[in-house]
Chain A
Amino acid sequence: MHLHYIDYAVIALYFLFVVGVGFLLKKKIKTGNDFLMSNRSIPLWITSLAFISANLGAQEVLGMAASGSKYGFYTAHYYWLGAVIAMVFLGVFMMPFYYGSKARSVPEYLKLRFDEKTRTFNALSFAVMTVFSSGISLYALAMLMQAILGWDFSFSIWMAAGIVLIYTFLGGLTSAVYNEVLQFFLIVLGIAPLVFIGLHKAGGWEGIVHNVDNIKLHLWKGMDHASNNPMGVDALSLVFGLGFVLAFGYWCTDFLVVQRAMISHNQNAAQRTPIIAAFPKIFMPLIVILPGIIILALQKQFTGFELPTNAEGAVDYNMTLPVMLSKLYPSGILGVGITALIASFMSGMAGNVTAFNTVWTFDIYQSHINRNASEKHYYYVGKVTTVAGILISIATAYFTRRFNNIMDLLQLVFSFVNAPLFATFFLGMFWKRTTGHAAFWGLLSGTGAAALTHGLTVAEGKGGWITNLHTFYSGTSQAFNIAWIAFTVCFIMTALISLFTRPKPNEQLVGLVYSLTPRQKDKSKAWYKNPFWLGIIVLLITLIFNIIFY
């Protein structure tokens, strides 16, 4: 792929704007609260777009196109089953506790609801996970730029990290959030033309239907058994593993996304943030999954759309979007498309770094190292943490290049830690009897159960490091099953231990537990300001899409 001066001009302009946003916001950021929490003053439309944009990283843009090509429309389950419902639940039921408790982070909510050790366990695992994820995002960007544009690996690393450092260092969370919104529009407007051009070339929807395997154009068909659909999962593990445990675990408890709602200017806006974000989220498959299906139709009709193979000789589905860009975009709009890809990587990296900042400063540094320092002091700690986070990300990127398998292992361990988390929150918010000791040991046992299940099962040659008791049809199926097993173990252990340990007195749980929190009556009668009715509309639209693409 060769870029012309016009393409480089678009990339340079984008870099200029993201750095410019950081410089503009620098004057407004004066305290630790401004830097790490945006002083809880960001308007609804920005928090909503930042909410989905924080998740619109490279994994979403490149990975979903790749999954679209590999699994077809079944990939849309990650949106219509694995995101939208959880986003509505977060807005309607969980956000009042996060926002109303005045917690500055998800781990801090755990401190208020349970105890310090549960918070520290969550904060440490989250901090390590975000900073490594940021590094992996950087590594993936550098590898992609090397493969499609021939850019030097180190040049891509230092360029992207340097730009993210400048704007997050200067403007903190506000700068990251503002740039996430810019990146959202860039990704949508930069990739949407690809869908139109691709569809047109493939012969419209009829061309897709005639040239793509019918089984790849459905959501639920063949879900009666894992062997009957390309994803290799059955309906039960899909609904419970993805739709409930993984979706709710990510969208309702991952501070990276929840933080975007917590910086809203009032509770109603905080509640509406994930629900309003769910509207564009419903339509995102058209932008990120459809290119993967279109390329299948183009492969049947034209030459040149074949995907390259990776080092193991298997088809490299991650190249779906780059191949589409190079074949369908002329210079000019190609620069916009490449910039959109770079933006998705930088968005993912900045989101991780800013969430890492907040958790490190409030939940680890302030909680364990320096409890009573001034606001100014935490402001500087936040800034130093930004630099440290970026440097660790860079080191991680180089480390990943040398020891790719170690990073796979780390990501696997993180998935074990995340899998049971929603059980802890669910019981903590809706059962006042849940205790701190139970939450902590429940989390540990759920994590252990996830690791044990992985060690006893095999999928696509992975897992089974203890022995092989069961073979799954796909790695996806294995992940979904590990998730629901970890959730169930954590849920049962937390409930059981709670019965034998002393709960917090009721007066300490007001605002933290559903049954002890007075219901806020929404003074506004307008349906569009009411999280409940907005949620119902979102769910109805999602249901209609599920029926259409059955």
Chain B
Amino acid sequence: MNKLFDLRFVIGCFFLIVGILLLLYGFFSSATDQSVNRWCGGIFTLFGLIMLLLSYRRNTNDPGPH
């Protein structure tokens, strides 16, 4: 439950889901020129994963479970 209070976890989840949505749409949509969605989807997914990773790293400077 504490993990849910960690803002990095929340931001990570949001961008991971948006990134995956864009990737799926970019690869499976019939619309033309989906390279932007694929690129952005990839970057958002990576950013989301980095934030999730950071949320697991204990920051001793932080006073609470943020």
Binding site for B on A (CB under 8 A): 6, 9-10, 13-14, 17, 20-21, 24-25, 28, 41-44, 46, 178, 181-182, 185-186, 189, 193, 197, 265, 329-333, 336
Contacts and interface: CB of A to CB of B under 8 A. Distances in A.
Interface string B49-66: 000000000010111101
Interface of B: 4-5, 7, 10-11, 13-15, 17-18, 21-22, 25-26, 29, 31, 33-34, 36-37, 39-41, 43-44, 47, 59, 61-64, 66
Contact of A181 (B7, B34, B61): B7
Give 5 nearest A-B pairs by CB, closest first.
Answer: A332-B37, A332-B25, A43-B62, A6-B25, A265-B63
A329 B66 contact: no
Dominant SS among interface residues on chain B: helix
A181 B34 CA distance: 29
Nearest to A328: B36
A181 B41 CA distance: 20
B22 A185 contact: no
22 contacts: A6-B25, A6-B29, A10-B21, A13-B14, A14-B14, A24-B5, A24-B10, A42-B66, A46-B7, A181-B11, A185-B11, A185-B47, A189-B44, A189-B47, A193-B40, A330-B33, A331-B29, A332-B21, A332-B25, A333-B36, A333-B40, A336-B22
Contacts of A197: 36
A41 B63 contact: yes
Interface centre among A14, A186, A333, A336 (most CB of B within 10 A): A333
A349 B46 CA distance: 30
Contacts, number: 82
Contacts of B25: 6, 331-332
A43 B36 contact: no
Nearest to B54: A45
B37 A28 contact: no
A289 B33 CA distance: 27
A189 B11 CA distance: 12
Contact of A25 (B5, B11, B22): B5
A9 B34 CA distance: 17
A538 to B, nearest CB: 21
Contact of B31 (A17, A28, A181, A330): A330
Contacts of A10: 18, 21
Contacts of A28: 5
B10 A333 contact: no
B37 A182 contact: no
A518 to B, nearest CB: 25
B17 to A, nearest CB: 6
Contacts of B47: 185, 189
Contact of A330 (B18, B21, B36): B36
A408 to B, nearest CB: 37
B45 to A, nearest CB: 12
A265 B21 CA distance: 37
B18 A13 contact: yes
B17 A331 contact: no
B4 A24 contact: yes
